[in-house]
Amino acid sequence: MAADRDADRAAAPRRPPEGGSRFGSASGRRWILLGITLAAVLAALTLDASLSGLVPQKGGTELVLRFFARALRPALDYESEVPDGTAPLWMAALAAARRTVVFAVAAMSLALVGGVVLGFLGSSAWWAGAPRGGNGAVQRAFYRGFAPAVWAAARVLIVGMRSVHELLWAVLFLAAMGLNNVTAVVAIAIPYAGTLGKVFSEMIDEAPRDAALALRASGATNLSVFALGLVPRALPDMWAYAFYRFECAIRSSAILGFFGFPTLGYSISASFENLHYGEVWTYLYALCALVLGVELWSGALRRRFVA
Amino acid sequence: MSAAHGGSGSSSGAGPASVGPRGGVALDLAALRRTKPTSRLLRLSIVLLGLLVVWAWTAGDFDFGDLVSERRAENVRRFLGEEITPYPLRETGFDQAAFVEWAKTLWDERGRRGVAATLSIAVLAIALAGAMALLLAPLAARNLATARPFEFGAARAARGPGWRALTTAVRALLVLLRAIPEYVWAFLFLAMLGPSAWPAVLALAIHNSGILGKLGAETIENLEARPLVALRDAGATRRGAWITAILPLSLARFLLYFFYRFETCVREATVLGMLGVVSLGYWIQDARSKHYYDEMLFFVALGAAIVLLGDLVSAAARAVLRRAR
**Of the candidates A43, A177, A291, which has its C-beta nearest B75's C-beta?**
A177
**Residue B17, φ and ψ in degrees, nearest 5:** -110, 130
pLDDT of residue B204: 95
C-alpha span between A17 and A7 (Å, rounded): 18
pLDDT of residue A7: 40
Contact pairs from chain A to chain B, CB under 8 Å: 252
Q: How far is CA A211 from the centre of its chain?
A: 30
Number of domains in chain A: 1
In a domain, A191, yes or no: yes
Nearest CA in chain A to B216: A4
In a domain, A296, yes or no: yes
Domain that holds residue A130: 90-305
DSSP SS3 for B213: helix
pLDDT of residue A19: 41
Burial grade of A211 (CB within 10 A; 0-12, 13-18, 19 or more): middle
pLDDT of residue A12: 40
Mean pLDDT of chain A: 82
In a domain, A73, yes or no: no
Q: Please check whether residue B194 touches A, CB under 8 A.
A: yes
Q: How far is B193 from chain A (nearest CA, A)?
A: 4
- The lowest-confidence range among A181-190, B212-221, B229-238 is B229-238
Nearest CA in chain A to B264: A165
C-alpha span between B112 and B129 (Å, rounded): 26
Tell me the range of A61-75, A125-139, B247-261 where mean pLDDT is highest. B247-261
Mark yes or no for CB contact B80/A42 under 8 Å.
Answer: no
DSSP SS3 for B84: coil
Q: What is the 8-class DSSP label of residue A17?
A: P
- The lowest-confidence range among A25-34, A66-75, A101-110, A276-285 is A25-34
Long-range own/partner contacts, residues A296-299 (CB < 8 A, 24 or more apart): A297/A243, A297/B45, A298/A240, A298/A243, A298/A244, A298/A246, A298/A247
Residue B18 β-bridge partners = B26
- Interface probe for B, chosen from A58, A64, A171 (most Cβ of B below 10 Å), is A171
Which residues of chain B lie closer than 8 angstroms to A109, CB-CB? 53, 56-57
In a domain, A163, yes or no: yes
Burial grade of B214 (CB within 10 A; 0-12, 13-18, 19 or more): buried
In a domain, A236, yes or no: yes
Q: What is the 8-class DSSP label of residue A87?
A: P
Q: What percent of chain B has pLDDT over 70?
A: 90
Task: Reduce the secondary structure of A213-233 to three states and give it as a string.
Answer: HHHHHCCCCHHHHHHHHHHHH
pLDDT, one tens digit per residue, over A123-176 is 887 776 655 445 677 777 777 778 888 889 999 999 999 999 999 999 999 888
CATH number at A254 reads: 1.10.3720.10
Closest CA to A75 of A273, A265, A257, A285: A285
Residue B61 near residue A105, CB atoms below 8 Å: no
**DSSP-derived pairing of the beta strands B17-19 and B25-27:** antiparallel
Nearest CA in chain A to B310: A163
Nearest CA in chain B to A232: B3
pLDDT of residue A21: 41
In a domain, A3, yes or no: no
Between positions 137 and 176 of A, the ones with CB within 8 A of B are 159-160, 162-165, 167-168, 171-172, 175-176
pLDDT of residue A4: 42
Residue B193 near residue B206, CB atoms below 8 Å: no
The one-letter amino acid at B225: A
pLDDT, one tens digit per residue, over B46-62 is 899 999 999 999 987 88
Cβ neighbors of A54 (< 8 A, separation 6 or more) are B193, B198
Mark yes or no for CB contact A177/B80 under 8 Å.
Answer: no
Residue A23 pLDDT more than 50?
no
pLDDT of residue A220: 81
pLDDT of residue A55: 77
Q: What percent of chain A has pLDDT over 90?
A: 32
Q: Please check whether residue A287 touches B, CB under 8 A.
A: yes
Whether the complex's predicted ipTM is more than 0.85 is answered with no
pLDDT of residue A143: 75
- The number of CA neighbours under 13 Å toward the Cβ of A200 is 29
Residue spans of the domains in chain B: they are 100-324
- Tell me which of 1.10.357.10, 1.10.3720.10, 3.30.360.10, 3.30.450.40 is the CATH number of domain B100-324: 1.10.3720.10
pLDDT, one tens digit per residue, over A191-223 is 999 999 999 998 888 888 888 888 888 888 877
